[in-house]
Structure 1
Amino acid sequence: MPPIGPSTDTVTGAEVVLAGLDDEQRTAAQAVSGPVCILAGAGTGKTRTITHRIAYGVHLGAYVPEQVLAVTFTARAAGELRGRLASLGVGGVQARTFHAAALRQLRYFAPRVLGGPLPGLVENKLRLVASAASRARLSTDRTSLRDLASEIEWAKTTLATPEDYPARAQAAGRELPFEAAAVARVYESYESAKQREGVLDFEDLLLVTAFTLEEHQDVARQVRAQYRHFVVDEYQDVNPLQQRLLDAWLGGRAEVCVVGDPNQTIYSFTGADPDYLLGFADRYPDAEVVKLERDYRSTPQVVGLANKLIGQAPRRKGLPGLRLLGQRAEGPEPVFREHPDEPAEAAAVAARCRELIDAGLPAAEIAVLFRINAQSEVYENALTDVGVPYVLKGGERFFERPEVREAVVLLRGAAAGGNEPGMLVPTVRDVLASMGWVEHRPPPGGAARDRWQSLAALVDLAVDLVSENPSLDLAGFVAHLAERADAQHAPTVQGVTLASMHAAKGLEWDVVFVVGLVDGVLPIAQSLSRPEAVEEERRLLYVAVTRAREQLTLSWSLSRNPGGRRSRPRSRFLTGLAPESAPTAPPARRREKKQKVVLEGEAGELFERLRAWRSQAAQSASVPAYVVFTDATLQAIAESRPSSLRELSGLPGIGARKLELYGEDVLATVSG
């Protein structure tokens, strides 16, 4: 009689999938039957855990890959899930956003349930919203139109109709661009305009798909036979409309695994409802709940601050709380800094960024995080003043930038003509050179600099891929770019990241500056009348803090403008975290007032030769002289007279990038 159950080979393959997981991750991965709730704290490896859980279930024979649907919130996150599953030898699993999954199903069933092909989609609501506002006799500008569109989206994701919108908006404490009744009229007119034009918006995709499954039993049976196991990532961000669709997919079954972190609930303004996560065990009393608390991202010092911050929040009903346990080596204590005004705060941050980059830290490993986007301008100016490149997070998507699209077209054309093995990077450089791109010479000016950085990111990506796969050719590189574009997975652009705290969620950096921490900004003034809104602001700061791997600085300024009254109170969330009298940061040194360097003899002569070389190098690169090397670095070179790149790399202000750009020239200057 043959043995019953998985074969030995199957079990062996499944055990291999579990290798390298910690005890809690392994427990979660082995819970292949739902309902399962994984509470995953920041930096605890949730993506690793859920992909290994799916792979373990497939290898064990508990899942058929094509019958698993994993849903998340961004195309990039879905692409990462697919990539990791492929690396684990698991293909066929559907990993999609809610909207992509709904679109795929609705497009297939549209002829049956709608009587024809899927209607067109509204790519941008503003045109229809403007028309609806005009019919409602409202005077609008572009800002108020965006606010109206956001209110319509909130209403639809919370399943509010135009009739019940005013009461629902008041109960939720919404900040409205017009009276609630007027917004409701615009909402109703907008829906009518869509019907007249025969189009759907993105919220309709979810609503119509859910309705189809609820009202057409033949369609529901077919979909539920196709998808038998569900995984929902970032479950704390699910809204009522998404939950309705999930319930329709499940059809009363409990084969669902949800993953989330109650401490990172920061999107209630878009309709997200954390009660679905917090109340999961109430809804499924037999649910297995696994907590992931080992933080592999941040130092114990950063983790300790995060725990203190979130530990001050009132206890919420539902699932147990999370307390992170730092797993990395010890690091520096978080720094708290008080500044007289916002320009001084920005100048101090920019000066520190300059120091870090001169010491060899890549600019892409630094982030400046703020509460609202309007705070970015002063940091853009400060970083520009000290010659530090920056990237504004939340701008135009990388693969939609004109220069990137042009580059991809040219690379695709070059690939069609074939290329020699081992020549990927030189070929990419040559193609970009035909667009006027010059390596190591970023031009002045914001738009021109951004264009140069975008193209430089493509070269850096080619270098990284060749280091992993030396045989990669141009055709393979172009195919890789297409995959990244589909997943919205942009390559790293070398620049300090400027981002709002909301936009930073899901990202991480070695060094993080959290700035502008004053009451009225964080927590934001609109939240102060509602305790639950204030607590969401605390969680937003928690998200910002947990983005830092190694170094964390939190700062605030007592006045908005230089010379203003220094009366702004620092954020209430810093009470118990920052010293009662945090040190005032020294003013950033102005580069026009540098201390004169005095050297004598051969060292003095070499210093002057180095200054002359630096002037030429700066002129060639169209950058200020200090961007090449500071006087302090030139002094160290003149005093030590290095004779090799290794000796040169040990001097202050000379990192890997500076060594690559200028090392040989410096040694030649030293040798005379």
Structure 2
Amino acid sequence: FAAAQRWRFRHLFVDEYQDLNRLQDRLLRAWLGDRPDLAVVGDPNQAIYGWNGAEPGYLTDIERLHPGTEVVVLEDSYRSTPQILATAGAVLGDRPGSAAALRPHRPDGPVPTIVGYATDQDEANGIARAAHDHHGPGRGWSSQAVLVRTNGQIAVIERALRRAAIPHRVRGAGDLLADRDVAGLLRDLDRRREPLATTLSDLQLAIDADRAELEAAEDPELPETTAAGRRIAAFQQVLRLGRDLLVVEPTARADDFGGWLRATLRDEGTERGDAVDIVSFHAAKGLEWSVVHVAGLEAGFVPVSHARTDDARAEEQRLLYVALTRAADVLRCTWAAQRTFGEREVERRPSPLLGPLRAVAAELAAAGTDAPDPTGALADSRAALDPPDAPPAPDPVAEADALRRALQRWRDAEARKVAAAPTVVLSDKAVEALVRVRPTSSDELAGLRDVGPATRERHGTRLLAIVAEPASA
């Protein structure tokens, strides 16, 4: 058997070699036998799977473990600007095993920025505004990403982007199908013959009960790091998807939801139009965007609170390095002085890893070698053209909120006239489509799938008027 396998796999090539664990090394050696026909590629600074048994020493000690190995050091970077590489490199410091500094082959760009906010809601709104500012010709929504350390950070950012009518998607949601608790939930859903609304109410009660236990625990700051916390994060995503289905299918049953959920989660990670990605640090590995917003750079998140050993803290440094180097052109780092966990508001401190970032960013700014951020130059040009007493530029979040409220007030009034639910007059998805697209003509209105022909015929003129005058509607 061994001879057959070695004949079948005669030339072995291993990518991401820094993520090799002991079991994988044994398999690799069994395939190799006494042959030296092995080529590997890896980056010790991107070793971030210690929790899965990965040992970067298989890469850093490869000359000892595989005598006769020829090592070729790749020191050229073609993704990120010099400013981003210098800032990201500061996170690694002079730790043993750190690779040599990369040589950038991109022109200068803006110095990465670090912004602190009063609350996590303020941080999310700030990210939405920055995403809006960086969107424009030649830079679509899909050229931007928001990176987070834990799944628990996603909900507040999603709400802010939704309020600002910024299209977005959560990458990696398909991992829910592999979650043991979600698999059990899906089996339970398949057996239920009751309205989905009832099932979701029960699920909300279960989530609330788990959250209450976590909040009573000694360390409530990072519930996502416990088994119960991970279950809450997973079930909250299921709950969100269930509510999405109820918007379009108010009479949906629990047993229908299971099949729909499986199909939805399998498709979640695929490209679906121009949208900002929301991604965890781990899931972002191997990806890149022009503009990256790294959120929640606070003690307890980065490094994560359970990273108590030197090895664990070193891995947290490498994980942040991976997150920062996903950016090609623009890098924004943010944190919040207060964050909500369940019903509790917790005071936060900036991540200790922000210190080196700030120092390098200050040096880069003082050196004056950076290129201005194009969005900042555009804002300066607009300000120069405006008269001194010109009103400030509209806030995209506030503007979207005003239009959303106007549409909701109108549909509530129409619903009272016919004694129907507001969503019968205009669904939540239709409201969001109107806020996002802001049609100015009947043809543009007809292009919105969520606004049906009956709604367009009956209310099209009024809807266009509301969109045109959101503040006064």
Shared fold, TM over 0.5: yes
Rounded Cα–Cα distance in structure 2 between residues aligned with 1:565 and 1:245: 48
Q: Measured at CA, do residues 228 and 537 of structure 1 come closer, stay the same or move farther in structure 2, by a change above 3 Å?
A: same
Q: What SS does the aligned partner of 1:243 have?
A: helix
Counterpart selection for 2:42 from 239, 243, 260: 260
* Contact kept? 2:128, 2:397, Cα under 8 Å: no
Q: Measured at CA, do residues 258 and 628 of structure 1 come closer, stay the same or move farther in structure 2, by a change above 3 Å?
A: same
Rounded Cα–Cα distance in structure 1 between residues aligned with 2:248 and 2:290: 23
Q: Are 1:363 and 2:144 an aligned pair? A: no
Residue in 2 that maps onto 1:559: 338
Rounded Cα–Cα distance in structure 2 between residues aligned with 1:289 and 1:521: 35
Residue in 1 that maps onto 2:15: 233
Residue in 2 that maps onto 1:616: none
* Contact kept? 1:293, 1:322, Cα under 8 Å: yes
* Structure 2 counterpart of 1:530, one-letter code: T
Displacement after TM superposition at 1:622 (Å): 4.2
Residue in 2 that maps onto 1:328: 106
TM-score (norm 1): 0.41
Q: Are 1:540 and 2:319 an aligned pair? A: yes
Rounded Cα–Cα distance in structure 1 between residues aligned with 2:429 and 2:309: 56
Displacement after TM superposition at 1:494 (Å): 2.5
Q: Are 1:494 and 2:274 an aligned pair? A: yes
Q: What SS does the aligned partner of 2:96 have?
A: coil
Counterpart selection for 1:525 from 288, 305, 316: 305
Displacement after TM superposition at 1:396 (Å): 2.2
> Within 5 Å, which residues of 2 pair with 1:446-465?
446=244
Rounded Cα–Cα distance in structure 1 between residues aligned with 2:276 and 2:431: 20
Q: Measured at CA, do residues 447 and 239 of structure 1 come closer, stay the same or move farther in structure 2, by a change above 3 Å?
A: farther
Q: Are 1:297 and 2:75 an aligned pair? A: no
* Contact kept? 1:556, 1:570, Cα under 8 Å: yes
Q: Are 1:288 and 2:70 an aligned pair? A: yes
Q: Measured at CA, do residues 266 and 313 of structure 1 come closer, stay the same or move farther in structure 2, by a change above 3 Å?
A: farther
Residue in 1 that maps onto 2:293: 513
Rounded Cα–Cα distance in structure 2 between residues aligned with 1:398 and 1:280: 36
Residue in 1 that maps onto 2:252: none
Q: What SS does the aligned partner of 2:72 have?
A: strand
Q: Are 1:314 and 2:314 an aligned pair? A: no
Q: Measured at CA, do residues 593 and 249 of structure 1 come closer, stay the same or move farther in structure 2, by a change above 3 Å?
A: closer
Displacement after TM superposition at 1:354 (Å): 2.4
Residue in 1 that maps onto 2:150: 372
Q: Measured at CA, do residues 224 and 391 of structure 1 come closer, stay the same or move farther in structure 2, by a change above 3 Å?
A: same
Rounded Cα–Cα distance in structure 2 between residues aligned with 1:249 and 1:350: 50
Q: What SS does the aligned partner of 2:357 have?
A: coil
* Contact kept? 2:340, 2:346, Cα under 8 Å: no
* Structure 2 counterpart of 1:591, one-letter code: E
Q: Deviations over 1:252-305 (max 9, x none)?
A: 221101110000000010111111111101123321100111111111111111
Counterpart selection for 2:356 from 565, 568, 576: 576
* Structure 2 counterpart of 1:546, one-letter code: T
Q: Deviations over 1:195-228 (max 9, x none)?
A: xxxxxxxxxxxxxxxxxxxxxxxx1112222322
Rounded Cα–Cα distance in structure 2 between residues aligned with 1:299 and 1:450: 45
Alignment coverage as a number of residue pairs: 303
Q: Deviations over 1:415-463 (max 9, x none)?
A: xxxxxxxxxxxxxxxxxxxxxxxxxxxxxx8559999xxxxxxxxxxxx
Displacement after TM superposition at 1:560 (Å): 1.0
Residue in 2 that maps onto 1:549: 328
Q: Extract unaligned runs of 5+ from structure 2.
A: 179-242, 250-265, 363-394, 403-427, 441-463, 469-473
Residue in 2 that maps onto 1:250: 32
Q: Measured at CA, do residues 550 and 581 of structure 1 come closer, stay the same or move farther in structure 2, by a change above 3 Å?
A: closer
> Within 5 Å, which residues of 2 pair with 1:372-411?
372-396=150-174
* Contact kept? 2:88, 2:357, Cα under 8 Å: no
Displacement after TM superposition at 1:390 (Å): 1.3
Residue in 1 that maps onto 2:436: 627
Displacement after TM superposition at 1:495 (Å): 1.6
Rounded Cα–Cα distance in structure 2 between residues aligned with 1:590 and 1:393: 27
* Contact kept? 1:515, 1:555, Cα under 8 Å: yes
Residue in 2 that maps onto 1:141: none
* Contact kept? 2:87, 2:360, Cα under 8 Å: no
Rounded Cα–Cα distance in structure 2 between residues aligned with 1:398 and 1:357: 30
* Contact kept? 1:340, 1:566, Cα under 8 Å: no
Rounded Cα–Cα distance in structure 2 between residues aligned with 1:450 and 1:550: 39
Q: Extract unaligned runs of 5+ from structure 1.
A: 1-218, 401-444, 452-484, 595-618, 635-664
Residue in 1 that maps onto 2:118: 340
Rounded Cα–Cα distance in structure 1 between residues aligned with 2:245 and 2:132: 21
Residue in 2 that maps onto 1:473: none
Displacement after TM superposition at 1:593 (Å): 9.4
Displacement after TM superposition at 1:628 (Å): 3.9
Residue in 1 that maps onto 2:284: 504
Q: Deviations over 1:340-367 (max 9, x none)?
A: 0101000110122223335563211111
Rounded Cα–Cα distance in structure 2 between residues aligned with 1:264 and 1:366: 21
Rounded Cα–Cα distance in structure 1 between residues aligned with 2:71 and 2:18: 15
Q: What SS does the aligned partner of 1:577 have?
A: helix
* Contact kept? 1:340, 1:557, Cα under 8 Å: yes
Q: What SS does the aligned partner of 2:28 have?
A: helix
TM-score (norm 2): 0.57
Displacement after TM superposition at 1:569 (Å): 1.8
Rounded Cα–Cα distance in structure 2 between residues aligned with 1:542 and 1:332: 18
* Contact kept? 2:164, 2:400, Cα under 8 Å: no
Rounded Cα–Cα distance in structure 2 between residues aligned with 1:513 and 1:538: 17
Greater shift after overlay, 238-247 or 356-365? 356-365
> Within 5 Å, which residues of 2 pair with 1:36-115?
none
For CA contacts below 8 A with separation 6 or more, give which structure has more relative contact order. Answer: 2
* Contact kept? 1:364, 1:492, Cα under 8 Å: no
* Structure 1 counterpart of 2:324, one-letter code: V
* Contact kept? 2:113, 2:332, Cα under 8 Å: yes
Q: What SS does the aligned partner of 1:352 have?
A: helix
Q: What SS does the aligned partner of 1:292 have?
A: coil
Rounded Cα–Cα distance in structure 2 between residues aligned with 1:289 and 1:380: 44
* Structure 1 counterpart of 2:61, one-letter code: G
Rounded Cα–Cα distance in structure 2 between residues aligned with 1:274 and 1:504: 19
